[in-house]
Amino acid sequence: MLILASASDILRQRWREALREPCVEVHHADALGQALRQDASALVLIHLGLPGLQGLEDVGALRQDWPGALLMALSDLPGEPEGRALMRLGVHGYANAHINAGLLTKAVRVIRQGEVWVGRRLMQHLIEELTHHAPSHPALRDLTAREREVAGLVADGHCNKRIAVRLGVSERTVKSHITAILRKTHAGDRLALAMLVKGHAPAGLRG
C-alpha cells in the first residue's frame, strides 16, 4: 500500500500524479495511524507539516509503533540538521516536499528496494558523523577482495554507475556485488553498510 499523508491537496495531487499507482490519502496523523492498521508494511510519504504531527519526536514514535512501514519524510524547508535527526529516528527517505516527479519516482523505487534516499551531501555528513576512529567490523570478514572494494566505494558515497566506471565493470555486476554484500553482512541498506565499513554497526549487527 502507498499512503500519501499531507493536509495539502496540492502536494497530494503532485505526489499522486508523479507515482501513478493506487494510494490511500490521509489529512491528519490520526488517520495515518488508522491507515497503517490496514497495512503495517505500507510505504508512507509523510509531509512534516501534517496536522497532528507534533515535531520529529512523533515521526520517531511512528517508526517505533509501525516498524514494518517505510517512511519517507518530506519537508517544506529541508535542511541537514533536520535530515540527520530524521535518519537517526530511522526514516527511509528525506526530501523536499516539492520534489520533482522524476526524483520522487526514483526515491520510491530506491526505498522499496531496501535502500535509503537522502541527498548526497547529507549522506556524506551521516557517514562522516559515524566514522570517527572507526575499527574494522567482523561482519566484513566473509567478503571477497572485490566485495570489500565495492563496499568501500559504497561507504564513500559513490553511486552504482560511478563504482562501475571506477572498477571497469557493468552496473549490473556492481548491483550483483552489492546484493551479495548486503546478504553476507545482513546490512539492511547502503547506509547500514557504510556504517559497517566505517566501524559503526547498526543495532543487530554487533558481530
3-state secondary structure of 73: strand
Instruction: Please state which CATH number belongs to domain 127-197.
Output: 1.10.10.10
Q: What is the mean pLDDT of residues 60-71?
A: 92
What is the percent of the chain where pLDDT is above 90?
Answer: 53
* CA–CA dist 168, 153 (Å, integer): 13
* CB 70 within 8 Å of CB 42: yes
* CA–CA dist 17, 128 (Å, integer): 36
Fold of 2-117: Rossmann fold (3.40.50)
* CA–CA dist 181, 125 (Å, integer): 23
Q: What is the pTM of this model?
A: 0.64
pLDDT at residue 7 in the model: 97
Q: Is the pLDDT of residue 133 over 50?
A: no
pLDDT at residue 107 in the model: 93
pLDDT at residue 49 in the model: 92
Give 53's pLDDT tier (boundaries 50, 70, 90). Answer: very high
Residue range 76-111, pLDDT digits in tens: 998 888 988 898 888 999 999 999 999 999 999 989
Give 198's pLDDT tier (boundaries 50, 70, 90). Answer: confident
pLDDT at residue 155 in the model: 85
Nearest to 187 by CA among 204, 168, 164, 165: 204
Say which range, 13-17, 27-31, 32-36, 196-200, has the weakest mean pLDDT: 196-200
Taking the C-alpha atoms of 33, 35, 41 and 46 in order, what is their torsion angle to the nearest 10 degrees?
Answer: -70
pLDDT at residue 136 in the model: 57
Reading the block at residue 28, the C-alpha cell is: 491528519
pLDDT at residue 134 in the model: 46
Q: Is the pLDDT of residue 169 over 80?
A: yes
pLDDT at residue 200 in the model: 54
* CA–CA dist 176, 207 (Å, integer): 24
Q: Is the pLDDT of residue 139 over 80?
A: no
Reading the block at residue 83, the C-alpha cell is: 535530515
Give the start-to-end residue ranges of the domains of the chain.
2-117, 127-197
